[in-house]
């Protein structure tokens, strides 16, 4: 069954609404739907969530803003197509210098992409990454969850609805099912990506 925001947040009498699923009119459906999407985006990694962003590193700078909706990097390349590899924060602190050069490594903290060197000139890097897509709302009635993963969205909403009414047994039941569906979708996404190089191995 296809869902949209209006249906999901409708009254108990609306087939396909969260209130109808839990048979309870007073539930905070907007909150349950928001929490359900946040939970899914925290673990789901599918093709719809892959995006390429241009990262502008200004001359003399060693950091740049994260792209909108950024979740995690897949691969970054410099203007010549060479890889800029990820490092954890502790390693990056030891690698940073005042040298002006095209960066070789990056880390993420303070909600910024942090690089090992300062840009010798304005640079545009390409970042393939997973991103969070827009939440459902009055101005955004559908998204890829409603069209491709309606069952996942449904059970995640049921999980957070159960949490909202403090039904621990139903919460555990729907959480297990949500995790299973997310894991299955991630396996399918990995199989679909096999043969394409999305690796971020340290060179």
pLDDT tens profile 76-123? 999 999 999 999 999 998 999 999 999 999 999 999 999 999 999 999
CB-based contact 129:53 (threshold 8 Å): yes
The sign of the torsion formed by the CA atoms of 55, 59, 65, 71 equals positive
114, containing H or E segment: strand 112-115
Domain match, 125 and 89 both: yes
CB within 8 Å of 203: residues ≥ 6 apart: 83, 85
Q: What is the chain's alpha carbon radius of gyration, rounded to the nearest angstrom?
A: 21
Domain match, 59 and 126 both: yes
Domain boundary among 131, 156, 185: 131
Domain match, 70 and 25 both: no
Which residue range forms the structural domain that includes residue 157?
Answer: 5-46+134-193
Burial class (CB in 10 A: 0-12, 13-18, 19+), 141: middle
Is 116 a member of any domain?
yes
Domain match, 60 and 112 both: yes
Domain match, 18 and 115 both: no
Calculate the alpha carbon distances from 121 to 6, 99, 126, 135 in Å.
49, 12, 16, 37
* pLDDT grade for 202, boundaries at 50, 70 and 90: very low
Domain count, the chain: 2
Domain match, 70 and 120 both: yes
Taking 80 as the threshold, does the pLDDT of residue 44 lie above it?
yes
Rounded to two decimals, the pTM is 0.83
* Tokens, residue 41: 């985006």
Domain match, 19 and 71 both: no
Degrees, nearest 5: CA angle 69-75-80 = 115
Domain boundary among 90, 110, 131: 131
Is 64 a member of any domain?
yes
CA-based end-to-end distance of the chain: 46
Is 199 a member of any domain?
no
Is 184 a member of any domain?
yes
Domain match, 81 and 150 both: no
């Amino acid at each position: 069954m296809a869902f949209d925001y209006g249906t999901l947040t409708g009254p108990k009498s609306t087939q396909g609404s969260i209130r109808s699923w839990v048979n309870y009119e007073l539930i905070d459906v907007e909150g349950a739907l928001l929490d359900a999407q946040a939970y899914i985006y925290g673990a789901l990694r599918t093709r719809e969530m892959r995006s390429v962003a241009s990262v502008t590193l200004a001359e003399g700078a060693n950091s740049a803003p994260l792209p909108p909706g950024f979740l995690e990097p897949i691969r970054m390349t410099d203007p010549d197509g060479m890889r800029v590899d990820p490092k954890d924060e502790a390693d990056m602190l030891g690698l940073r210098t005042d040298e002006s050069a095209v960066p070789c490594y990056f880390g993420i903290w303070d909600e910024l992409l942090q690089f090992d060197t300062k840009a010798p000139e304005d640079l545009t890097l390409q970042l393939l990454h997973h991103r969070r897509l827009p939440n459902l709302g009055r101005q955004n009635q559908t998204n890829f969850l409603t069209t491709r993963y309606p069952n996942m969205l449904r059970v995640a909403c049921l999980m957070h609805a159960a949490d909202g009414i403090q039904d621990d047994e139903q919460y555990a039941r729907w959480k297990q099912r949500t995790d299973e569906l997310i894991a299955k979708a991630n396996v399918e996404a990995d199989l679909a990506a096999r043969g394409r190089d999305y690796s971020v191995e340290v060179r």
